[in-house]
Structure 1
Amino acid sequence: MKRLKYTILILAAAAITSCKKSFLEQEPYGNSIQSGTFYNTVDEATGATLASYKYIDFDDWWQTQWWKQVGGEAASDNEWIGVNGGQGTAVQAAHYTLNPENDRIEAHWIEIYKSIYLFNATMEGLQNAKIDDGAKQKLIAELKFLRAFQYFELVRNWGAVPLITKTLSPQQNDYTRTSAADVYSFLKQDLNSAIAILPSKSQYSTTDKFRVSKGAAQALLAKIDLYTENWAEAQSVSAQIIASGDYTLENSYGNIWQTTNYNGKESIFEIQFQYSTQYPNLGNVFPTTSMPGTEGGWGYFTPTSDLENAFKAQGDSVRLNWTIIRHHFPVIGDPANTSFDANPSQCKSARYNRKVYIPRSERTPNGRFSKDHIYLRLADVYLMNAEAAAMQQQSQQALQSLKAVRDRVGLTTNMNLSGWDLINAVRTERRLELALEGDRLYDIRRWKDQSGQPVINSIMGPNGSFVKYNTQQSKDPYETTNLNEPQNKGTSFVAGKHNLWPIPSKEIIASQGRITQNPGY
């Protein structure tokens, strides 16, 4: 199905978005989404399924897309909120002063459950569709992946969450939180059933490469296995993806994010965005929010000098330049921008995200861009494999996967690493390879140190390494002088509390206490 037709389906789905209310108070999306009799042909069933894809990220910009960057990166040691301390609710999350009344976290929770409602309703409609059973099961498998993708976002942010697997009437509101272990178990079951049905990426036509493939379901399953420390399964599934031949690493690291390389050979799952003059809020939020006003952007999500130092410590100039744009440096890949103006007085760090940057010659008039956003790619899978092998003390396998990623950017690999030296090398590689792509916070939350404590506990908090660097060691000329966003970011972090976000207060109230709060809030 062509991108244009997909865009039309997105716009149709966008038209039925409801206003922000408590998750328990949401209105149905519309009878056309729920009606099983609507899907009388394969085209109708396919159209409903493809319209569902946009609900991974559709939120009028301010809920799901925004929060994924705040949560995944700006609350870690990789990013500041950046824009001279603006957007106080986002700063609360990034600086660990967040409370359950925060409007952004509430909106993120609501938008995810709205999308899950849509996926459930569409699956129920497909069950009764008058179409070939093989086509029907394939579409349901795509929707199972989309639902699992959203539940993964819920469970890694909030832990135990309500597990809703069918459409509910307003009267059916007696559910409670399901344990994280049980949510993960359900997601694994759904993904395994999808893997058995979905085609490989190579079996899709060129115009359908964006659709969920067997490899996408496997990659999400492998990542869930990492989060649940099921190392053997994570190693096995990631190895299957690598061996499939469906994906290969891009020869050039920078080619991954080129606008001429959508759904490229390294991409496993990416969201397609389309610029529209009729619906101006459509489009990828990150190119606009993550660029300074001098480039037509809003100035948020600026990389830290701590992240830049991590690249320099490895001698990693390739990924540094393709990840961080620095003030008065040329922008790699854009010959029209030979001296980037980061607008330092309005930017915490005078650094910006190259991965979401769009060269000047390719920009659309109103700042809403069609740039796709990659969520799963092969280098991530190689590093999943390396981590899982390292955690099982299978050093040679871990080193082979680690080396594959480092070779691309011209870095040598010490093939004699083992034990914790190897584990830490893989962790460092994940930070550099995947920087600013939304995984950093979740990695440092789930990783354990040699004493069994979450790694984030030693990075954040009053004695955390990141806090000490910023408040005692850093001499960065921008960060240490642009203090509208406080330099002591992370000092308010409390171990055992801030390893999860608070459940939005409105959800607890609307559930009459059946949904309970996370510890410490």
Structure 2
Amino acid sequence: MKIKIYFRIIGLSVLFVLQSCEDFVDIDSPNFQMVTEDVYNKEKTTIAAIQGIYNQLYVANFSTYGVSVLGAMSADILLARTDTYLPFDQHELFSINTTDAGFNQNIWSSAYNMIYMVNRALEGLENANISDDLRQNLQGQILFTRAFTYFYLTNLYGDVPLLLTSDYDTNAIAPRNSKEEVWLQIESDLDEAAALLNKQTEYKDGERFYVNLSVVEAFRARVYLYRKDWSNAESFSSNVIARADLYGLEANPEDVFRANSKEAIWQITPDGVRNFAPEEATHFTLHVNGTGTTITGNTALSDDFLNSLVPLDKRRLWIGEVSSENEHSYFSKKYWFDNDGEIQQYSTVLRLAEQYLIRAEARAMQNKLAEAISDLDQIRARAGIDLITDSNPGINKQALLDTIMIARKRELFAEWGHRWFDLKRTGKVNTVFSSNPTWQNSDALYPIPGEERLKNPFLTQNDGYGN
């Protein structure tokens, strides 16, 4: 069965680009030379085509749904309330012929649809009939998007095909590249994106869903943290934190995820769906049915996570609770449905709190303990809990690192796979899930979708999922 990705169309030029993406999945050797020439022949249609990529990033299965929801389910914060999501909760994924295999297939295929769109756009921009300044700016934005997508692919699957052109025949039989090769390409794309964006830190029309230099530097800080390059992680997070005219921690946690909040570095939302709540609200929110007898919804927060938050922690504002006649449950309400039908929030991908936590960890790793404590206390102060400076100023390095990891869990829960990836990058994933009788060390990576392997015989499988 073919998996098709359906798109919201915002204009004829975007239709051309998005149609090419769908054809990449379903049709042999597509030829879009004429279409591409038409799209990139004018400034207006060129910009619309790039906007189409932003829109698709929001609705793609790998992003807000695949990473934020299923990635959070794989960690130790969310619990599955339905059989549909239980395989991610219990780390019992299959590569083919099951519901979870379908979800996994959608993550993979939508990510590679995005890669195809990005590569096609980069090729189109090379000879686009636009000014050099605009060309470079758009190229920077698109290169960032490719790095962003590969970041999630390699963190979910490990070794993955590294596709850098839109050549269908080559891509269709591409083998997996090593994680190291993928990471090096991510760094290269981000370096080039930063150079092309050329010190641009403002946001077009004040909307924080356009990629600028701050977005690139914030993501570079995260990449260097994962790569254990502590000096660069500190440096790039410092660049972003220093832009106090643009960014600041919101005093009220309920304001953090609002559209264009001062804490937001990068948010995503498509033009065509601003009358809906962000995708996360759909999957995280619990409801009580009309008779008050049953709670409906896919996920719930674990008791262990709830108990980790002290009663006065302001981050409890990000937790909702519902009661029926037979049940009481808690859920993530960082995002909510607006009763007036007008969206007040954007899906927040990068925010300032993460940059403080990145810098705190990077500084602690370099034995800059006082500076690391200062960064961590920024987050604790906003949460309204005791400061390390007051309660334990002599804390040792390992204890401080453990405290920072707890802070990441409490601050970034149910956001973009942070907890799942943190457990893996710090080598703690096997310890945390050792009590789960179904856990195997190989469960740290998702299976390569079986449907993709049927189409491409050169794709090997991850350990633990058979041949």
Fold equivalence (TM over 0.5):
yes
| Structure 1 residue aligned with 2:286 | 292
The residue matched to 1:302 in structure 2 has which SS? strand
| Structure 2 residue aligned with 1:155 | 154
Q: How does 1:97-176 map to 2 (within 5 A)?
A: 97-101=92-96, 102-170=101-169, 173-176=172-175
> CA distance change for structure 1 residues 156 and 146 in 2, over 3 Å: closer, same or farther?
same
Query: 2: CA distance between counterparts of 1:27 and 1:91?
Result: 36
Name the amino acid aligned to 1:42.
E
Query: 2: CA distance between counterparts of 1:243 and 1:355?
Result: 26
Asked if 1:520 corresponds to 2:464, the answer is yes
| Structure 2 residue aligned with 1:420 | 398
Query: 2: CA distance between counterparts of 1:11 and 1:274?
Result: 15
Query: 2: CA distance between counterparts of 1:93 and 1:344?
Result: 28
Decide which structure has greater helix share. 2
Is the 8 Å Cα contact of residues 215 and 266 (structure 2) preserved in structure 1? yes
Which ranges in structure 1 are unaligned for 5 or more consecutive residues?
1-5, 328-341, 448-453, 463-489
> CA distance change for structure 1 residues 318 and 276 in 2, over 3 Å: closer, same or farther?
closer
CA shift for structure 1 position 289: 2.6
The residue matched to 2:49 in structure 1 has which SS? helix
| Structure 1 residue aligned with 2:44 | 43
Query: 1: CA distance between counterparts of 2:415 and 2:409?
Result: 10
Name the amino acid aligned to 2:303.
S
Query: 1: CA distance between counterparts of 2:117 and 2:373?
Result: 42
Is the 8 Å Cα contact of residues 279 and 347 (structure 2) preserved in structure 1? no
Name the amino acid aligned to 1:381.
Q
CA shift for structure 1 position 274: 5.3
> CA distance change for structure 1 residues 157 and 176 in 2, over 3 Å: closer, same or farther?
same
| Structure 1 residue aligned with 2:419 | 440
| Structure 1 residue aligned with 2:429 | 456
Is the 8 Å Cα contact of residues 129 and 136 (structure 1) preserved in structure 2? yes
Percent identical residues: 25
Q: 2:87 aligns with which of 83, 86, 92?
A: 92
Asked if 1:499 corresponds to 2:453, the answer is no
Q: How does 1:254-265 map to 2 (within 5 A)?
A: 254-258=254-258, 262-265=259-262
Is the 8 Å Cα contact of residues 62 and 111 (structure 2) preserved in structure 1? no
The residue matched to 1:269 in structure 2 has which SS? strand
Name the amino acid aligned to 2:414.
L
Query: 2: CA distance between counterparts of 1:270 and 1:78?
Result: 23
The residue matched to 1:8 in structure 2 has which SS? coil
Q: Which moved more, 1:197-206 or 1:8-17?
A: 8-17
The residue matched to 1:376 in structure 2 has which SS? strand
The residue matched to 2:190 in structure 1 has which SS? helix
Q: 1:352 aligns with which of 322, 326, 331?
A: 331
Which ranges in structure 2 are unaligned for 5 or more consecutive residues?
1-7
The residue matched to 1:268 in structure 2 has which SS? strand
| Structure 2 residue aligned with 1:204 | 203
Name the amino acid aligned to 1:165.
L
> CA distance change for structure 1 residues 41 and 76 in 2, over 3 Å: closer, same or farther?
same
> CA distance change for structure 1 residues 491 and 416 in 2, over 3 Å: closer, same or farther?
same
Asked if 1:267 corresponds to 2:241, the answer is no
Query: 1: CA distance between counterparts of 2:206 and 2:158?
Result: 37
1:73-120 Cα shifts (integer Å, max 9, x gaps): 1111110122xx331xx2112211111111110111001000110111
Query: 2: CA distance between counterparts of 1:144 and 1:493?
Result: 37
Asked if 1:387 corresponds to 2:387, the answer is no
Query: 1: CA distance between counterparts of 2:233 and 2:74?
Result: 26
> CA distance change for structure 1 residues 161 and 171 in 2, over 3 Å: closer, same or farther?
closer
Is the 8 Å Cα contact of residues 49 and 122 (structure 1) preserved in structure 2? yes
| Structure 2 residue aligned with 1:310 | 308
Is the 8 Å Cα contact of residues 389 and 397 (structure 1) preserved in structure 2? yes
> CA distance change for structure 1 residues 46 and 275 in 2, over 3 Å: closer, same or farther?
closer
Q: 1:319 aligns with which of 315, 321, 324?
A: 315
Query: 1: CA distance between counterparts of 2:32 and 2:403?
Result: 52
TM-score (norm 1): 0.78
Query: 1: CA distance between counterparts of 2:132 and 2:183?
Result: 28
CA shift for structure 1 position 244: 2.8
CA shift for structure 1 position 356: 1.4
1:459-501 Cα shifts (integer Å, max 9, x gaps): 1123xxxxxxxxxxxxxxxxxxxxxxxxxxx431112x01111
Name the amino acid aligned to 2:320.
I
Name the amino acid aligned to 1:263.
N
Q: How does 1:222-301 map to 2 (within 5 A)?
A: 222-245=221-244, 246-258=246-258, 262-273=259-270, 276=273, 284-294=278-288, 299-301=297-299
Query: 1: CA distance between counterparts of 2:30 and 2:265?
Result: 29
Query: 2: CA distance between counterparts of 1:422 and 1:310?
Result: 17
> CA distance change for structure 1 residues 400 and 7 in 2, over 3 Å: closer, same or farther?
farther
Q: Root-mean-square deviation (CA), in Å?
A: 3.0
Is the 8 Å Cα contact of residues 293 and 343 (structure 1) preserved in structure 2? no
Is the 8 Å Cα contact of residues 21 and 117 (structure 2) preserved in structure 1? no
Is the 8 Å Cα contact of residues 69 and 280 (structure 2) preserved in structure 1? no
TM-score (norm 2): 0.86
CA shift for structure 1 position 19: 10
| Structure 1 residue aligned with 2:4 | none
| Structure 1 residue aligned with 2:73 | 74
> CA distance change for structure 1 residues 294 and 19 in 2, over 3 Å: closer, same or farther?
farther
Query: 1: CA distance between counterparts of 2:34 and 2:363?
Result: 44
Query: 1: CA distance between counterparts of 2:299 and 2:11?
Result: 31
Is the 8 Å Cα contact of residues 269 and 346 (structure 2) preserved in structure 1? yes
Aligned length: 444
Q: 2:456 aligns with which of 479, 503, 511?
A: 511
Name the amino acid aligned to 1:317.
D
Is the 8 Å Cα contact of residues 201 and 213 (structure 2) preserved in structure 1? no
Is the 8 Å Cα contact of residues 221 and 233 (structure 2) preserved in structure 1? yes
Query: 1: CA distance between counterparts of 2:119 and 2:382?
Result: 41
Is the 8 Å Cα contact of residues 146 and 189 (structure 2) preserved in structure 1? no
The residue matched to 1:352 in structure 2 has which SS? strand
Is the 8 Å Cα contact of residues 50 and 138 (structure 2) preserved in structure 1? yes
| Structure 1 residue aligned with 2:213 | 214
Query: 2: CA distance between counterparts of 1:396 and 1:317?
Result: 23
Name the amino acid aligned to 2:260.
N
